[in-house]
Structure 1
């Protein structure tokens, strides 16, 4: 028996990839719904060998599905995830909105699968920042064996984390450097083509960025708050 699944944010890059991965994994789906904002109602997205039309999040009846994958950004998650959870389905939230909520488990299956027991409080499961997810998979067995005291971490992240605007800027600047256009930055503070920028997100009062803070906060929640982390995100 399969599940009734809704992907919220189905027209975005991540939402479309979620649909692709569910198909590749042959995840048992009886019904698949693509859900997005009203402006995307009727937009077609691929699901397996067919296309499905996006439904309006304002009108969709979430009580009719078992599982909701949220990938519409933090603002949308804060506005909708708890409402959806109260309607009955389990929400797997891909944003940062609920990661540090004490009533929401933050889970990487290879690291802390038992935390799923907490999901019944709000019917929400959070997944961590992409860099944290990779980090904790490496740290957990080491910590179990020897207790990690400190970790120094540097990440070199793709522009796709900034969405379509970030990817377009990299593409356009790459062309411009070869004489085919304007390389002036718009999305990023400096030229990103053939370059690295040593911060992601917004700077905090302590000199770290919020992207860097996510990595230690989420690692502490999933593994051990006693681990000291020094993080640089590029």
Structure 2
């Protein structure tokens, strides 16, 4: 990735922060877009305050990145929010909020990046979907709807942009050991028991690490995956494809 410029949304923590570190290690310069962007401590990493639910904020952030680094080659659409409950658990306002961030946010960032990506010889978009796009999990209706949409968007975007030389793929993580999961577990009546249940749900018997997801994102974003577009790479400990005897 030497000489390439990447934009990672939700880049301040969890999977996003792991992607930033992985890309920097591979030689890229990276803009970490986040609503909680911190101070700059590395010349290769540019923290940028951006809200993917606000088109003006997104467009200003992409313009700033291009001005600072000379363009944009890679976009990782990682920013998102969670939602818990069955189909009757959330009101219309919550549905609109979560869809706006998790689905329309992907469109806003990709749209703002396209003028720069079209000028890149190694343009790539990697969207973060989820195993819930394929597997029905309890109490995840709203969140699953958004990640299923991200998967479908990935395929449609790949078809639209292949002629422009822009590859579009997605990564579908299982349950990842991130600060967000830690906060979710902290709200449980039995955090240790809930963690064991989440671990057991994945055939490998453990949670996925953010670094494992970042490795997959790095591959799909890098020129090494030049022949790969319109694909979904599962990083889920076997949740999607394996059915093991109990």
Query: Scaled by the length of structure 2, what TM-score is found?
Result: 0.45
Task: Point out which structure has higher relative CO (alpha carbons under 8 A, 6+ apart).
Answer: 2
